[in-house]
Structure 1
Amino acid sequence: MTFENPDRSQIKQVLESSKTIAVVGLSDNPDRTSYMVSEAMQAKGYRIIPVNPNASSILGETSYATLQDIPEHVDIVNVFRRSEYTPDISRAAVEIKANTIWLQLGVWNDEAAQIAIDGGLTVIMDRCIKVEDSILLPNKA
């Protein structure tokens, strides 16, 4: 069976019901896409939790080495890593009982999607969370 992303109304529902986004691969370099996207999402009111083992804090938030190190519930695991790394990230997202795994634009992995679906998570792949949020929730601040 071929994976299909949720439709726009379902994606809107995911965004509306989410407050906390763990960003796997969030760079502490302001010139990187992961930083710019996360900064914009933070400005719209989402709590951003960096997952980067090489940084102590990013965007004013404590950075964690792994998803399992985060001491609170995560609504969305947003992934800025290459596709081949995503199955393990999906396993971790299932383990921490996240609601959604979101693979950023250009990131797609059918195995990762199946792991997350089997674990009860909503899966969104090859989409930019900032673009979707801007389109679907333009007045959220």
Structure 2
Amino acid sequence: MTYGDDATVRRILKETGDTWAVVGLSTNTRRAAYGVARVLQRAGKRVVPVHPKAETVLGEQGYPTLADIPFPVDVVDVFVNSHLAGEVADQAVAAGAKAVWFQLDVVDEAAYERTTAAGLDMVMDRCPAIELPLL
């Protein structure tokens, strides 16, 4: 099943806003989150690392949770296991994000239903680094 059609993908990447909180982003350059964050930055997005260590990554101050970010976030990009992702989606709704993006292999159908019912755009099991060049 597809969670987030091409129009939703395009809207999030082109129209939703340029501040992306990347949940799971750390200084580990071997992790997918780091590579995707670099692609997002190159595309003009502000990347905000969200990780318990609150490390500065790619020149941006990190925060331990979404609730700790002291400014609005447009999109929450989620690099955590599926069993943890629903809670992150709920936090994104509470934080006032406009959209949630679950990375490849991150799927939580109940979270998708809750998030879209709250009025947010959502994509699951896709990668913005793959989708951006296709626009």
Aligned-residue Cα RMSD (Å) equals 1.3
Stretch moving more, 36-45 or 9-18: 9-18
Structure 2 residues without counterparts, runs of 5 or longer: none
Q: TM-score, normalised by structure 1?
A: 0.89
Q: How does 1:1-141 map to 2 (within 5 A)?
A: 4-17=2-15, 18-136=17-135
CA–CA distance in structure 2, aligned partners of residues 22 and 113 of structure 1 = 18
* 4+ residue segments displaced more than 2 Å: 3-7
Structure 1 residues without counterparts, runs of 5 or longer: 137-141
Q: Check the 8 A contact 1:28/1:55 in 2, yes or no.
A: no
Q: Check the 8 A contact 1:6/1:124 in 2, yes or no.
A: yes
CA deviations 1:38-81 (Å, max 9, x no partner) are 01111111000000111431111000000011111111100000
CA–CA distance in structure 2, aligned partners of residues 45 and 83 of structure 1 = 28
